[in-house]
Each structure stands twice: as C-alpha cells, then as structure tokens.
A and B are shown apart, each in its own frame.
Chain A
Amino acid sequence: MVQLAFSTLLFNIVDYGDRTTMNDLITAMADIDDEQVIDLIEKQLSEGREPVLILGDLKKGMDIVGQRFSDNEYFLVELVMSADVFKRAMEILEPKLLSTQKEGKSGKVVIGTVAGDVHYIGKNLVIAFLVSNGFEVFDLGEDVSPEKFVEKLKETNANVLALSGLITTTHDVMKQTIDALSEAGIRNNVRVMIGGGDIDQSVVEYTGADAFGKDAMSSVDIARKFIEELS
C-alpha cells in the first residue's frame, strides 16, 4: 500500500505541468496530514520563509489532491478534509501576506446554493478549490434567492457566478436565477457555471447557464476560461 501511494505520487509529479519538485509541505498537503501542514507552516514562518512561497506549496498540494480525486484514489472525505486543512492553513497565512499577494488575482466569483435547496457539501468544496487557485470567492450560503445573487454580483463587480443545487427540482430555480440576471441587465457581463447532482449539458441548455462542473476541481478551469473570455 505504501508503495502504491508512493508510485501514484511520482506519477503525479511527473505528470504535473511545471515538473514541481516535491517538498515536505507539498507532500503533507497532498497527503492531507493536517498536523504536519500546520506545524510546517509555523516552522517556515518562524524561519522567515516568504508567506507567498508557502502559499504556493499549499496550492501545489491541493492540485495533487484534486488529481488523486480524479484518479479515484481520493474520495469525497479526502476532498472535504483537504478543504478544511487548507482553510485552517489560510487562517494562519492570510494576515502575513502582503495585500498585493492576497487572493483575488485570478478573479472574483459569487457562489451559493439556489433557493429551495439547503445542501452545501459540494458547494463548499468548489469554494476551497477556487480559493486555493487564487480566486476571490463570495459565498452567499444556502437557499439563496435570485435577488441576493443579483445584488452581490452588482456590489462586487464579480463576473463569474457559480450556482449549486443537489436535486433535479433545483434546475428550475437555477433557470429563474439566471433569468433574474437578464432582467437586472447584467447577464452579458456575467458567466454562469452550475453544479450539483444530475447535471449535464442538457441542464446547462435548460437553465441558460454557460457551463457545468462535473466535480469541484473542474470549477477552477471553467472560472479561468470565463475570466479569459470576458477580458
């Protein structure tokens, strides 16, 4: 088993675009060893390592987590745990980052579970992966009305909207929410992605959205593509 995990790890590194060399922090994050991650961050900060470099390692670790999920090695539990560890790590790291290094460089995303639905596990995972990839995310929570989405989009000038809904009955609510953007006259400035249970291209067409995410990690690529299209 140890050998297997190790070879998967090697595979991931080799496969990883910029051929990152692993270090302890990346490994700990990828293995979701929460104590080790926090200890290493504190140790490196006290040794004077640049916070932004530490953040970079965490992101690389999160990318490996996402890859392992795609490879079926990790499952929901590991994703949720990794999101939790990353959040805790950011709580330590965030105050130490220079304002120019803070999240938001990649773009702004407004997210929420649509009205009539109270599920949040999937949505919270999407948030974790967006944040770890440098997006500034405004989470409106669950059971969010179309008006609230419109309001937040206007207030933040975000041009990416992510809608979550678990059961098929929420597809109609997603459609209503997207219609509300048109009525408010902001549909052209906003790209919409949807996610949840039972969602495929036909639901994208039904609701009038622009894309769907098949899992939490894919939201990152979609958001990047959206931002690119709009700039």
Chain B
Amino acid sequence: MPDVVVVFEPSGLRVLVESGTTALESARQVGLYIPSDCGGRGTCGKCRITVHPIQIPTTYDLEHLTTEEIQEGIRLACKLQLHKNSRILLPRGETQIKILTTSEAKDWIIDSGLQNKFGIAIDLGTTTIVAYLLDLSNGIQIAQVESLNPQTAFGEDVISRITFASREKDGSKILQQRVVNELNQQISQLLGITRIHIDQISRIIIVGNTAMHHFLLGANTDSLGKAPYQPSISGPVRMNPQHLGIQMNAYTELYLPPNIAGFVGGDTVGFILSQRLDCVNDVVLGIDIGTNGEIVLSDKGKIYCCSAAAGPAFEGSTILHGMRGQTGAIEYLSIVDKDERPELSIIGESDPQGICGSAIVDIVAELHRIGIIDESGRMHKISKRVREDEKHGRSYLVVKKDETKEGNQIIFTQKDVRQVQLAKAAIQAGFTLLLDSIGKDVTEIDRVLLAGAFGNYIRPESAIAIGLLPKVEISKVIAVGNAAGEGAKGLLLSKKNRNLAEAIVNKIQYIELASEVRFQEVFMQSISLL
C-alpha cells in the first residue's frame, strides 16, 4: 500500500508512494525530471535535491556532497529512500533541464469561475493508462493513478487489437467495455484518495492514440488497419461521459481532442500543445518512441508530423531476453573490456532477469563502439563473450550463469541486433524524411524533445550512437516526460487551450511515410549503424 506522501516544490505536485521508494523514482512517477546521468546508480552525483525533514546521509551522499550541503539537507535523489511524508525541493538554475509540470503548468491559461471544481485528465496509452486529478481553480495536480490497459489481453499492439475488433463478434464492444471499466476504477480510486465528491468533478479529458480513441468511443477501426490508414472520427469530441458508461454526472463534460491521422492521435496533440511547438522560434524535433513512434517537426512554429512503425523491440517484445522496465530488468549497460563482464545497472537491484529498452539501445551502441558489431550490424567473434549459441546462433553474453546468484544466463543475439536495426531504422527514416520535406539538415535542429517513458530513460548518447536520434550535440536532447499527459492537463484547465489545440491540428502537415517515394531508399540507409 502506498502510504508515504511526497510533495515536490516548487510545483506543489504530490504523489503517494510505497515506503522505501527513492526520491528519484517518486519524481519520475509524477513526470518530474531530475537529471541523473548514471541512471540512478549513485555514481554521477547529479541528482541533488533538498529533503525535509532532513534524513541521515547515505554513503553516496558522503562521497559526493560537502559537509555544508549535507547539513542543508541536500541528498542524492537516487539513493534517498522515503519512509515518511517528505517535502522535496528540486534544484533551480541551469542544472534543472526541464521540470515539466512546474514550468508548463504555470504557463497554462486557467479558466476562471471554477472554484471548488475539479477535473480528471487521462492519458489513455496502448499499454498504460494514467489519470490525474486536478484542482481546476488553480491548476494544481492533487492525485495520480496509473494502471495497465486491460485491452492488452487482446493484443499488445494496436494492430492486433484492430484485428480483434474486426474479426471477433462484438470485438469492438468488448474492447470498449474493458477500457471503460478500467477508467471507472481509476476515477473511483482518485476520488477515494482525495475524498473529493463526484459532484465536484466538472470536466474529464482523455487523450490517446487514434486507435485507443476509437476503441473508447466504440468507433469503427477497420479503416485504421488499411492503407491509407484513415481515422473514422477526426474532429474533437464533446459528450456526456455517461453515454460511454463512464460513471460520472451527466453535466460533467468529456472532451477528446482531434486526431491528426490514423496513427497520430490526441496524445500527439497533447505533446505538441504541452511544448507549444506551434509557437517556437527555432527548429524542434519531437519524438515519442513507442511501438508506433510519433515524430513531430516544428520549423519555427510550422508543424509537420509522421508516424513510424518501430515495432515492439524497444519494449523488449521481439528481443530474446527483452523485458519491460520493471524489477530485475537491466536498465543500463556499459562495456569497459570486451572480454569481461559489462557494467550493469539493474532496476530494483535484484538479480538480472532480462534487458529493458534503455539497455537494449545501450548494448547495440556499446557492441558497435568496441567493434563487436560492424556497421552492417553483423556480430563478430572478436570477444570471449561472443559465441555460437546452440539454439539462438551467434550471441553476446550479457550475463553468464556463474555471474548471478540465481544462475540466469542473459544473451543478446544476432537476431536481436537485427530487430533493433529495423526498429531504429523506422524512426530514423521518419525524421530523415520529415527534415527532407522542409529542406533542412540534421545540423539545423536546435532541440530534440523526447516524450514518453522510453525517452525519459534511454541514454541519449547511446540513442544517438545507433542513429535512433539524429546526430546532434547531447545538450540539445531534452527528455520531457509524459508530454501527452501534460497536454491533457492543459486541455482540462482551459477551453482556450482546446481551441488552440484544434487550430494547431488544422494546420499540421501530416506525411504518410508508406507512400513516400524515397521511403525504401531512406529506410535501407537507416538500417546501418553508421
């Protein structure tokens, strides 16, 4: 049971966590960004925060902080375990690369006359659903709940669910019911945590990709699965939530922002809105890497976008020992000596069970850096850790049996390398063609914004090394956390933001990669690990 309240300053965001959760993890849960180069291993000393009440310093604190700092209550967030209610002050100034909710939430225009009214913003993802409860009078987030999308039972990815909806009797009805039930649960959880009455909820916003949007509304998804991949509902939707079976008062307004295309939906609208990509005065590339990656390019406010079918490799699905980012997953990896055990960072500091997306990117980058895999992606036997596995062919030994307590062997196969090449090529071809379409070069990109969980956890240097991100200076890459959720909050707080979102969508230029003449050529070039 999560029972420790953590309040983050200066945003005032609060979150309930289980006793023992680290400050870094708690911040991640509310979408706040604390710089942490080492990925939470206590080695880089960058994730400094101030905690109240002051806690006993860890050995990591003693190593990285001055006596003075320790007395002031500064600690390393990654090693600071929270056992009682705490206030955490995040750093200001240059080290604070991006604190999403603080900087952005303050900027949101807020409708007036909503005293004592509350609203719920929901990011309806293919895999996870996150619901936020906000005070509409001041824009402050009071609570957040997260759960798995129960539709996963009918397919991990969007396409298999579309297939289910079209093939099975009442398929789309089943998908709709499942997700509505889950939303109802989340809503009652939020009300329970906050003791806010259902009568006080006046607005609900739901953002999701086009397929999630259609499943929720019970709309026909056949056209999403076939070229030219058109949504059956594009415009914004305003309705009584009861009509979908959402347990709310009839006067509560449900709003879903418009979809951009069959594979670019309201979540991307949320991303664009939260970063105000429509009014930047530089060249910004926004990428949300998922099974279906969305790529947005803003050329001084003129927005172009496309979707790239990366497949589930970065979620660990098509990788032999791949897994989601949960306890036991190898999260980061560095190779110091090609013949020796690589340095690993494991979530939850347990015995390694598998490899999650961020480490999958690391492995390919590292193997390529030390020459075990060449530019074409071929793995060579120039290391003692590369061998022919009886079942899986040529493989790199990430973890040998005798290197763990439980005796798990974890390998990364030649085939895994190929899967990563295909996935990254899809994204790379996407941003390359977008840049091409406006005659810009990679060197002209001023910022690369990474949205979503994966973008938050990958090491930008590894992603750049394998070509998953454009070859820009590392300082230009900024993780913006759950930008879709943040956009949903903006839509919740102000009708002006809704109008703005609708106006933005009308002006976006969508590019369908599958019908681009140069797609094959660019995709093929992108497979290599140059």
Chain A residues near B (Cβ < 8 Å): 1, 4, 72-78, 80-81, 115-121, 142-143, 167-173
Q: Are A168 and B514 in contact (CB under 8 A)?
A: no
Cα separation A216 to B309 with both chains bound (whole Å): 21
Nearest chain-B residue to A76 (Cβ)?
B527
Q: Are B227 and A143 in contact (CB under 8 A)?
A: yes
Contact with A along B24-67 (1 / 0, CB 8 A): 00000000000000000000000000000000000000000000
Can you give 8 A-B contacts (C-beta < 8 A)?
Answer: A4-B381, A74-B376, A77-B376, A77-B524, A118-B514, A142-B227, A169-B225, A171-B163
Cα separation A1 to B374 with both chains bound (whole Å): 10
Nearest chain-A residue to B226 (Cβ)?
A116
| Given A4-B380, A168-B225: 9 more A-B contacts, CB < 8 Å | A72-B418, A73-B378, A75-B527, A80-B524, A115-B226, A116-B227, A118-B228, A118-B514, A169-B163
Interface-centre pick from B163, B374, B418 (highest chain A CB count, 10 A): B163
CB distance from B510 to the nearest CB of A (A): 15
Interface membership of B377, Cβ < 8 A: yes
Contact residues in B for A173 (Cβ distance below 8 Å): 226
Q: Are B422 and A169 in contact (CB under 8 A)?
A: no
Residue in contact with A75 in the complex, picked from B162, B228, B377, B380, CB distance below 8 Å: B377
Q: Are A76 and B422 in contact (CB under 8 A)?
A: yes
Contact residues in A for B524 (Cβ distance below 8 Å): 76-77, 80-81
Interface membership of B300, Cβ < 8 A: no
Cα separation A80 to B225 with both chains bound (whole Å): 26
Contact residues in A for B418 (Cβ distance below 8 Å): 72, 75-76
Q: Are A78 and B227 in contact (CB under 8 A)?
A: no
| Given A121-B523, A169-B159, also A78-B166 (CB < 8 A) | no
Interface membership of B385, Cβ < 8 A: no
Interface membership of B393, Cβ < 8 A: yes
Contact residues in B for A119 (Cβ distance below 8 Å): 514
Nearest chain-B residue to A169 (Cβ)?
B225
Q: Are A117 and B226 in contact (CB under 8 A)?
A: yes
Nearest chain-B residue to A124 (Cβ)?
B520
Cα separation A96 to B227 with both chains bound (whole Å): 41
Cα separation A121 to B225 with both chains bound (whole Å): 19
Q: Are A72 and B394 in contact (CB under 8 A)?
A: yes
Residue in contact with A72 in the complex, picked from B159, B225, B381, B393, CB distance below 8 Å: B393
Contact residues in A for B228 (Cβ distance below 8 Å): 118
Contact residues in B for A75 (Cβ distance below 8 Å): 376-378, 418, 421, 527
What is the number of residues of chain B that contact chain A, defined by CB distance less than 8 Å? Answer: 30
Interface membership of B96, Cβ < 8 A: no
| Given A75-B418, A116-B225, also A169-B162 (CB < 8 A) | yes
Interface membership of B116, Cβ < 8 A: no
Interface-centre pick from B515, B524, B527 (highest chain A CB count, 10 A): B524
Contact residues in A for B376 (Cβ distance below 8 Å): 74-75, 77-78
Q: Are A169 and B527 in contact (CB under 8 A)?
A: no
CB distance from B214 to the nearest CB of A (A): 14
Contact residues in A for B380 (Cβ distance below 8 Å): 1, 4
Nearest chain-A residue to B382 (Cβ)?
A1
Interface-centre pick from A77, A121, A142 (highest chain B CB count, 10 A): A77
Interface membership of B341, Cβ < 8 A: no
CB distance from A191 to the nearest CB of B (A): 26
CB distance from A17 to the nearest CB of B (A): 23
Residue in contact with A118 in the complex, picked from B160, B421, B515, CB distance below 8 Å: B515
Cα separation A169 to B523 with both chains bound (whole Å): 23
CB distance from A61 to the nearest CB of B (A): 18
Contact residues in A for B415 (Cβ distance below 8 Å): 72
Cα separation A143 to B520 with both chains bound (whole Å): 17
Contact residues in A for B159 (Cβ distance below 8 Å): 167-169
Contact residues in A for B377 (Cβ distance below 8 Å): 75
Cα separation A138 to B514 with both chains bound (whole Å): 22
Contact residues in B for A169 (Cβ distance below 8 Å): 159, 162-163, 166, 225-226
Nearest chain-A residue to B158 (Cβ)?
A167
Within 8 A of A (CB), among B462-520: 514-515, 520
| Given A1-B380, A116-B226, also A77-B528 (CB < 8 A) | yes
CB distance from B59 to the nearest CB of A (A): 45
Contact residues in A for B162 (Cβ distance below 8 Å): 169
Within 8 A of A (CB), among B187-236: 225-228
Contact residues in A for B381 (Cβ distance below 8 Å): 4
Contact residues in B for A167 (Cβ distance below 8 Å): 159, 225
Interface membership of B167, Cβ < 8 A: yes
CB distance from A37 to the nearest CB of B (A): 18
Nearest chain-B residue to A206 (Cβ)?
B167
CB distance from A196 to the nearest CB of B (A): 12
Nearest chain-A residue to B227 (Cβ)?
A118
Cα separation A81 to B520 with both chains bound (whole Å): 11
Residue in contact with B163 in the complex, picked from A4, A81, A168, CB distance below 8 Å: A168
Nearest chain-B residue to A4 (Cβ)?
B380
Contact residues in A for B393 (Cβ distance below 8 Å): 72
Contact residues in B for A121 (Cβ distance below 8 Å): 520, 523
CB distance from B112 to the nearest CB of A (A): 47
Interface membership of B414, Cβ < 8 A: yes
Cα separation A4 to B225 with both chains bound (whole Å): 44
Cα separation A119 to B516 with both chains bound (whole Å): 11
Nearest chain-A residue to B514 (Cβ)?
A118
Cα separation A169 to B226 with both chains bound (whole Å): 7
CB distance from B161 to the nearest CB of A (A): 10
Contact residues in A for B394 (Cβ distance below 8 Å): 72
Nearest chain-A residue to B155 (Cβ)?
A168
Nearest chain-B residue to A1 (Cβ)?
B380
Contact with A along B389-408 (1 / 0, CB 8 A): 00001100000000000000
| Given A76-B524, A118-B227, A118-B515, also A172-B378 (CB < 8 A) | no
Contact residues in B for A142 (Cβ distance below 8 Å): 227
CB distance from A144 to the nearest CB of B (A): 11
Q: Are A117 and B163 in contact (CB under 8 A)?
A: no
Contact residues in B for A118 (Cβ distance below 8 Å): 227-228, 514-515
Contact residues in A for B523 (Cβ distance below 8 Å): 121
CB distance from A48 to the nearest CB of B (A): 37
Nearest chain-B residue to A116 (Cβ)?
B226
CB distance from B188 to the nearest CB of A (A): 35
Contact residues in A for B527 (Cβ distance below 8 Å): 75-77
Nearest chain-B residue to A117 (Cβ)?
B227
CB distance from B420 to the nearest CB of A (A): 12
CB distance from B163 to the nearest CB of A (A): 5
Contact residues in A for B160 (Cβ distance below 8 Å): 168
Contact with A along B415-442 (1 / 0, CB 8 A): 1001001100000000000000000000
CB distance from B285 to the nearest CB of A (A): 25
